[in-house]
Chain A
Amino acid sequence: MSDVIEPRAGARAGAASWGDRLLRVAHAGGLLLVIVLITGGASLFVPNFLSPFNQFTLTRNLGVDIIIGFGMMVVLGLGHMNLALGAIGACAAMVVGFCLQTLGLPIPLAIAGAILAGALLGALNGVLVVRTGLDSFIITLATASLYFGLMFILTRAEAFRDLPADFSALGKGRVGPYSSFLVIAGVVAAGLVVIFNFSELGRQILATGANRTAASLSGIPVNRVIIVTHALSGAIAAIAGVMVTARLASALPSIGEEWLLPSFLAPLLGGTLLAGGFVSVIGAALGAILLSVLQNTLVLLNVSGFWIQFFLGLALLAAVGIDRWRVVQTQKRGTPGR
């Protein structure tokens, strides 16, 4: 028992204080500023940036990226990870393909089935984490392999390509010059804002993420919260899987293979803590926007696709580096004697 606040606790403790809230607003503001600068620069200097086609593809990819980021963000709120996000997305894609092509179910039912499947797979992650008491990292690493493998076995790695035209039309929907995927992302974002700010579940998730023991002793059913959160993450991954299926007009088993990096990038750029206990829905969306715009601009500038991953890595480093710099600055101000 130390009789002072640990320095680390002190540094972390700011999460909801006014000063820190300001910092967070500044963080979101900073992100927004960078986005505006890049978008402005691209609009002025990059030839095809503002073309309707580019605006459409940009926002269509963006819609998916935002949702992938949300899928990771909800478990980050617990201080957990979900490395099976991509695998669940792929499974959901195959479920929707199977329902539409093989079973011939109506589109809403097929989508509901896919989301349900995603939620179940996510819940299974949660159950395994709770029952074994093991790190979510290793559990979801294993289930990622398990789910991918199972899906490959069941589908024999064959894609569903004969999807109804009405379904693939979902991927072509427009709102003005933008893809209707943005609307879906907006709806999911609104739902998450409600969950994390105006619901019991959101409060329970963050409490469990910040201090599981304290939450449990305060009467929070932490195990149930963990399972529900992982199910939510799975359901969100499934939504992204269905969207990609609609965009590609076919359900491919390779969907989701590239989700790992963006799923972490968006929330982390947006200020969500890896340690749990704090999430920023708007931040994650802004993080995804920054990524998509950056990626799009680089493509238009004829930067080889091969280099884009390099820049994304640097972006992540820069984001966490700036965060670190801010903390160091705060400490310096706090301790003039040093």
Chain B
Amino acid sequence: MSALLAVNGVSKSYPGVRALDRVNLSLEAGEIHALVGENGAGKSSLIKILTGVIAPDEGEIVLGGAPMRFARPRESLAAGIAVVHQERNLIPRYSVAENMFLDRLPTRSGVVQHRQMQDDARRWLDVLELAVDPATPVRYLSVAQMQLVEIGRALSLQSKVLLLDEPTASITEHEVERLIGILRRLRDQGTAILFVSHKLEEVISLCDRITVLRDGQNTADARPLVGMSKDDIVTLMVGREAAVTELGERTATPGQCRLELSGVATAAGHEGIDLKVHAGEVVGLYGLVGAGRTELAKALLGAYPVTAGSVRVDGKPARIRNPLEALRRWRLGYVSEDRKGEGLILAHSVTRNTAITVWHRLRRAGGLIWGAIEKAYIRPLIERLDVRTPSLDQAVGNLSGGNQQKVSVAKWLAADTRILIIDEPTVGVDVRTKGYLHRLVWKLADEGTAVVLITSELAEMIQLADRIYVMNRYRVVGDIANSRDYDAMSGALMQIIQADNDRRVPPATAPENRGGKHV
């Protein structure tokens, strides 16, 4: 059997990270091939190489027997590779139809035929059963509709190779089923489909063969999926040693109540939020994507005004208008989920990124800050967190994901925060650092910090949290003690969310939001 699309020994490095290490992938006509791996395993890099966004350092791509070199996305498109990227890539003001046909706008004597394009788009939208007018600007669509538009675009290319990067992340169950039907039909017609997903159930039911990446290397190379279980795949993804919990037992000893929200409503749309976080406690905020967890954290930092209810820190009413007040006055810190966009200043050194929260304390005579004092202040922290960096002057952008995450936590430790909100702490972090960060969260709580943990990874939540608040649609809908029994807890959490959905939303009015599925 010869592969339609083959990736042979491809490597890609960034400063401080080896994103791909001699990776292989072979995709045959008429198969649905799964590509799985944890965040940071290199899936996105591989997709970017296949679509000409980035160039590999070594290795080759062979398409239909001919070696290929894609310098930019249009070359891979032209070669017959259609993609649905993980991030939405649409022009907000452009119509659905124009977004689908942007690279091949139909023209008659040079004049773009908007109507013809809309008719063409209609056909593909019908295939997906997406009931939107192709003339609607995409900025008025829901996230799910946007995702379907992108899938429609990829289908309309009728390519030999179809790459789908997390295509089901934000669409409803019904739409997923519809999509799966379409993909099966395309497979039978001879299309080669690469299906990247976190949802292993989907992978098992849909795909023929599987390629698994871990830390940039193949742990499975086009292995037939027949007979493989979910656990088998997880083991390939995270490695046997890491799949087992090694954190041990923890008994929380909650102290005084540090943070108390009662009946809080915010401009972001939260209503009636009640929650309490005590010193020495790890409190989880669990919910699906879009439940309003990160927004709640941002509201506590002043990004969205609190419109009703009260926020108390250490028993005192706190009106926090900005992160500066949160930090200086209430000693509340926030480790952002978006490390590169919000957490760190990639171009700046480890020193500056860590000391940023304490510069005011480092001023000496005449208001001057001496670099030596700055470094002396943060060095113990960097050593304590075991940040692997050649020097304190290294730009954090050059560190690996795990070390970056440590730096983005370190700056809050530098400032002795009493309340720390940690949002998705282990996204894009290698397995070893992940374990380290988990232990760190517990350690911080043991030292008296009130920790609020936001994570979409159920296993992580159940492993770490002492108590879990369940959020759904910008409300707290449940508050349960964590038994740390994965099966019981995951069932209980999903049940709370399901019950809330059933109670609140008549399905007909809100079709697009039902599917906020989680990984």
Instruction: Determine whether A and B are in direct contact in the complex, meaning some CB atoms lie less than 8 angstroms apart.
Output: yes
The residue that B344 contacts in the complex, of A15, A204, A214, A336, with Cβ under 8 A, is A214
* B395–A338 touching, CB < 8 Å: no
Interface check B140, CB cutoff 8 A: no
With beta carbons under 8 angstroms apart, the residue of B41, B58, B328 that contacts A336 is B58
> Residue of B at shortest CB range from A1?
B427
Tier of interface size on chain B: 35 or more
Kindly identify, within residues 429 to 449 of chain B, every residue whose CB is under 8 Å from any CB belonging to chain A: none
Interface string of B398-411 (1 = CB under 8 A from A): 10010000000001
- A210 contacts B345, C-beta separation under 8 Å: yes
Assess whether A211 is in contact with B346, with CB atoms less than 8 Å apart. Answer: yes
Please name all residues of chain A whose beta carbon is closer than 8 Å to the beta carbon of B346 when the two chains form the complex: 5, 9, 12-13, 210-211
Q: Which of B301, B342, B368, B393 contacts A198 (CB 8 A)?
A: B368
Which partner residue on chain B sits nearest A20 by CB separation? Answer: B395
Give min CB distance, A23 to chain B, whole Å. 12
Which residue in chain A gives the minimum CB-CB distance to B392?
A: A16
Pick the contact of A219: B328, B336, B341, B401 (CB < 8 A). B328
A200 to B370, CA, bound (A): 10
A199 to B390, CA, bound (A): 25
Q: How far is the CA of A219 from the CA of B41 in the complex (A)?
A: 32
Could you say which of B41, B345, B360 contacts A200, with CB atoms under 8 Å apart? B360
Residues 1-31 of chain A, each 1 if its beta carbon lies under 8 Å from chain B, else 0? 1111111011011111110110000000000
How far, in whole Å, are A199 and B359 apart by their CA atoms in the complex?
Answer: 9
Bound complex: CA A3 to CA B390 (Å): 22
Asked if B344 and A337 sit within 8 Å, CB to CB, the answer is: no
Which of these, A18, A210, A337, contacts B347 with CB under 8 Å? A210
- The segment from B11-19, B130-138, B154-162 found at the interface with A is B11-19
Give complex CA distance A261, B418 in Å. Answer: 50
Instruction: Identify which of B99-107, B245-253, B319-327 touches chain A.
Output: B319-327
Are A218 and B323 touching (Cβ within 8 A)? yes
Contact B368 A199 (CB under 8 A): yes
Report the minimal beta-carbon distance from A194 to chain B, rounded to whole angstroms.
7
Most chain B CB within 10 A, of A5, A203, A336, is at A5
Find out whether the CB atom of B342 lies under 8 angstroms from the CB atom of A10: no
The answer to whether residues A337 and B393 also contact, given A12-B346, A203-B369 and a CB cut-off of 8 A, is: no
In the bound complex, how far is the Cα of B360 from the Cα of A4, in angstroms? 33
Q: Which residue of A lies closest to B429 (CB)?
A: A3
Given A16-B349, A210-B347: A2 and B356 within 8 A (CB)?
Answer: no
For window 109-124 of B, CB contacts with A under 8 Å fall at: none
Contact of A18 with B324 in the complex, beta carbons under 8 Å? no
Minimum CB–CB distance for B359 against chain A, Å: 5
B394 x A17 contact (CB < 8 A): yes
Known: A16-B395, A203-B369, A219-B324. A9 touches B340 (CB 8 A): yes
Q: Is B397 an interface residue (CB 8 A)?
A: yes
Is the CB of B511 closer than 8 A to any CB of chain A? no
- Using A16-B393, A218-B356, A336-B58 as known contacts, say yes or no to A1 and B338 having CB atoms under 8 A apart: yes
Which chain A residues border B86 with CB–CB below 8 Å? 1-2
Q: Does A103 contact B (CB under 8 A)?
A: no
Closest-by-CB residue of A relative to B363 is A200
Are A16's CB and B348's CB within 8 A? yes
A197 and B351 CA atoms in complex are apart in Å by 13
A198 to B352, CA, bound (A): 12
List chain B residues, Cβ under 8 A from A337: 11, 55-59
Report the separation of the CA atoms of residues A278 and B324 in the bound assembly, to the nearest whole angstrom. Answer: 23
B17 adjacent to A5 (CB under 8 Å): yes
Asked if A336 and B356 sit within 8 Å, CB to CB, the answer is: no
> A170 on the interface (CB 8 Å rule)?
no
Interface-central residue, B11, B362, B398, by most chain A CB under 10 Å: B398
Q: Could you list 5 examples of A-B contacts with CB < 8 Å? A: A17-B393, A17-B398, A18-B391, A18-B393, A211-B346
10 closest residue pairs by CB, A with B: A13-B397, A219-B327, A15-B347, A16-B349, A3-B40, A337-B58, A3-B428, A198-B368, A200-B359, A211-B345
